[in-house]
Amino acid sequence: MRLILLGPPGAGKGTQAKRLMERDGIPQLSTGDMLRAAVKAETPIGLKAKDIMARGDLVPDDVVVRIVEDRITEPDCGNGFILDGFPRTVAQAEALETMLAAHGLELDAVVELKVDEEALAARVENRARESGEAVRDDDTVEALKHRMSVYRAQTAPLIDHYAHTGKLVAVDGMQEIDAVSAQIEGILGKVRNGAVGAAG
Ligand code: ADP
């Protein structure tokens, strides 16, 4: 099962990806987590990404594309993966298509988490407050506003992009976490039966 979780910052992509990983044993590939690990380890990529991420801007496409390509070719991705936070631009989506084709792979579904933006701002502010010392550099009100505008300008166009493939399925991300998971599991059931992605 090869899935993309799409949605604005704070929509719950990470939470849902972790649950899918636990339930279905499919690895979660979060470019945000991978980049934060690189920042922490002060690798060359991390040093390049640190300030960009703190501002809420996007790390250059070629950097994240390379990270993803390295990761999806690892053995644990043999049965699929859940992409969380990638692709974030149309260029990344195109690079993903090229790399999947090069490895003889296809996407199964793109799950869009639909959420209310005002509720999101509150969620992310809470996350910043509750996490105590481990507050993310980009979980400030200012950076969040910027991440939202970056999402609208650069990532939201992917919804149209994937709508044309017949693989896009929307989920109401404002429900309780369990209800969102249940809806996603229902979609995965349909994907397994061939009822999603038939047009793509
Ligand atoms: P969010 O909670 O905002 O969805 P993520 O953890 O997915 O956050 O990403 C945090 C930051 O990491 C982004 O604001 C961006 O700077 C960088 N990043 C993550 N994924 C990508 C990507 N696919 N392309 C470019 N930058 C990325």
- What is this structure's pTM? 0.90
Which element (helix H / strand E) includes 109? strand 109-114
Q: What is the pLDDT of residues 138-189, one digit of tens each?
A: 877 788 889 999 999 999 999 999 999 999 999 999 999 999 999 999 999 9
Give the C-alpha separation, 108 to 111, whole Å: 10
Output the CA 146–ligand 1 centroid distance in Å.
12
9 preceded by cis ω (within 30°)? Answer: no
Q: pLDDT-derived band of residue 200, with 50, 70 and 90 as boundaries?
A: very low
Q: Probe ligand 1: pick from 66, 67, 83, 138, max atoms within 8 Å of CB?
A: 138
User: Is 152 one of the catalytic residues?
Assistant: no
Spell out the residues 6+ positions from residue 146 whose beta carbon is closer than 8 angstroms to its own: 55, 56, 57
Task: State the chain's maximal CA–CA distance in angstroms.
Answer: 47
User: Is 88 one of the catalytic residues?
Assistant: yes
With DSSP H G I counted as helix, E B as strand and the rest as coil, what are the percentages for the chain, rounded to 5?
Answer: 60, 10, 30
User: Is 129 one of the catalytic residues?
Assistant: no
Output the CA 89–ligand 1 centroid distance in Å.
11
Question: Given a cut of 80, is residue 198 above it in pLDDT?
Answer: no
Nearest CA owner, ligand 1 atom 19: 32
Q: What's the pLDDT score for residue 80?
A: 94
Q: What is the CATH number of domain 2-199?
A: 3.40.50.300
